[in-house]
Amino acid sequence: MILHKIQTSPAQDNALSTCLRYIDKQDTLLLSGNAVNALLLTCWQEKLSHITVLVLEEDIIARGLDERLNQYASISYEQFVQETLRHEKVISW
Amino acid sequence: MSKFIIQVNGSVYGSSASYSAYQFTQAALAAGHEINCVFFYQDGVLNTSSLNSPASDEFDLTKAWVSLNQKYSVRLVNCVSAALRRGVISKTEADESKLPHWNMQSPFEMGGLGELVVGIEKTDRLVSF
Amino acid sequence: MKKLTIIFRRAPHGSPHGREALDLALLSASFEQEVSLIFVDEGVLNLVKAQQPELIGAKDFIATFGALPLYDIDTILACEASLQEYGLANAELTIAPSIVTPSTIREQLASADEVLVF
């Protein structure tokens, strides 16, 4: 079980799209930084609908998106540390 | 408790990755985990220039790394070849290359890429930013 | 010894990622780690033959891919879907990677101890 970490928005970089090509069903996707913006777009909401998605709480609050994205599980940095250990490895795309 | 190595590839000002690396490192240390080192690679080496001078009302990430070192004794290691290419130079390299100036100082240190590899081997998790 | 997988996902020369990935691959192998490489997405352009990066002020690190066997880096995968997208499916490449499906790459990611993406 892998924690895939994306920190750039799909408008900036194709990290998210590359990651989705190789992610396994049981893996987790963590969106941080501008990557959280992907969740505002219908096309990405659909592509991510079958994947466990986490967002970094500070990044959505900082961007004023916490209410808009409240259907996604948000985690603190403390929980981020725990998630890296709960998964076998972290891949930062 | 677990052992981590943190790799920072993002520049100090041009990307939010470095600040995120700092937050993660701080959270891991606060939770009692061990950090083998924070390894600065690619544009990450720009975090370690002591000449970084953000405006007084802006977050000073270079200072924040230094504070983290003072509080937890976490090692802050630059990839020397990545640093030299980007104008981040310690007194040792400045002397060797007969350069009049240098900008990296303790507690940051220069190391080879081998430190990253050995660090990965010794730790439970690599987390890159 | 750990199993390190290094992913090349960006095109060469526009940024130093490919070169810094190769530096890390060779160094890791010389430190007795079990290294494998995966070329995906625009990263497959690292495999195009007859590149002349010096013309644009870049170092010819592409030539160094030829040294991979000397470092015992034998697992070199390239994503079939990515090669097709960039019109390289039938092209002669600088090195001969194993051309694999995304699901084989998924298995490779699962079996590595750590994965570094460039």
> Domains, chain A, ranges and CATH?
2-92 (3.40.1260.10)
Instruction: Tell me the one-letter amino acid at A71.
Output: Q
Cβ–Cβ of C116/B118 closer than 8 Å? no
pLDDT of B14: 87
Q: What are B40's two structure tokens?
A: 């600065």
How far is Cα A14 from Cα A25, in angstroms, rounded to an integer?
A: 20
What are the tens digits of pLDDT across the range C13-50?
A: 999 999 999 999 999 999 999 999 999 999 999 999 99
What's the whole-model pTM score?
0.96
Cβ–Cβ of C33/B114 closer than 8 Å? no
What are the tens digits of pLDDT across the range A15-47?
A: 999 999 999 999 999 999 999 999 999 999 999
Examine the residue annotation and report whether B37 is marked as an active-site residue of this protein: no
**ipTM strictly over 0.90?**
yes
Each residue's pLDDT tens digit in chain B (129 positions)?
999 999 999 999 989 999 999 999 999 999 999 999 999 999 999 999 999 999 999 999 999 999 999 999 999 999 999 999 999 999 999 999 999 999 999 999 999 999 999 999 999 999 999
User: 3-class DSSP state for residue B45?
Assistant: helix
What are the tens digits of pLDDT across the range C49-89?
A: 999 999 999 999 999 999 999 999 999 999 999 999 999 99
Regarding the domain delimited by B3-128, which CATH topology (the fold level of the hierarchy) does it fall under? Hypothetical Protein Ychn; Chain: A, (3.40.1260)
From chain A, pick out residues whose CB is under 8 angstroms from the CB of B23.
58, 77
From chain C, pick out residues whose CB is under 8 angstroms from the CB of B82.
20
State the architecture of C3-117 in CATH terms: 3-Layer(aba) Sandwich (3.40)
Residue spans per domain, chain B: 3-128
Where helices occur in chain B by DSSP H, the ranges are 17-30, 61-72, 80-85, 91-96, 113-122
How far is Cα A63 from Cα A65, in angstroms, rounded to an integer?
A: 5
Q: Which residues of B touch C (CB under 8 A)?
A: 7, 41-42, 81-82, 112-114, 116-118, 120-121, 126, 128
Q: Please tell me which residue in B28, B37, B38, B79 is annotated as part of the active site.
A: B79
Instruction: Tell me the one-letter amino acid at B24.
Output: F
**Is C3 near chain B, with CB under 8 Å?**
no
- Which residues on adjacent β-strands are paired with residue A73? A54
Residue spans per domain, chain C: 3-117
How far is Cα B38 from Cα A68, in angstroms, rounded to an integer?
A: 34
- Across chain C, the runs of DSSP E, i.e. the strands, are 3-8, 34-39, 75-79, 98-100, 114-117
